[in-house]
Amino acid sequence: QQQVKQSPQSLIVQKGGIPIINCAYENTAFDYFPWYQQFPGKGPALLIAIRPDVSEKKEGRFTISFNKSAKQFSLHIMDSQPGDSATYFCAAKEGAGSYQLTFGKGTKLSVIP
């Protein structure tokens, strides 16, 4: 059973566009929702994260929107650049004291000039 569902699988946008990647979860015990960014040939790296007690978090051009009632969260990339081309993974962690991350299947983003 896939606990974190991510869509779309791939996404192509033009430079300056606003790609949106969506994730949905079922487990209400999840309490931490990070996004990881992975460039080709590299390991994933933490991009931005949010707790369920806030509805939005912004860091630079990256914004997480969180809808607790719908059990959904999304990543928005403002003014996207070719350098943002990467694979993005959403994830979720369950409860205090847990280290376990459950990852979505990833979205390959291509930003074309």
For another protein, the closer CB: 19 or 35: 35
**Residues in the site for another protein, rule: CB under 8 A?**
6, 9, 31-32, 34, 36, 41-46, 49, 51, 89, 93, 96-101, 103-106
For another protein, the closer CB: 19 or 106: 106
For another protein, the closer CB: 42 or 58: 42
CA distances from 16 to 13, 64, 82, 84, 113 (A): 8, 18, 9, 11, 9
Measured CA to CA, the distance from residue 104 to residue 107 in angstroms comes to 9
| Smallest distance from another protein to CB 20, Å | 19
| Smallest distance from another protein to CB 41, Å | 8
Of 107, 94, 112, the closest CA to residue 44 belongs to 107
Do 49 and 31 contact (CB within 8 A), yes or no? no
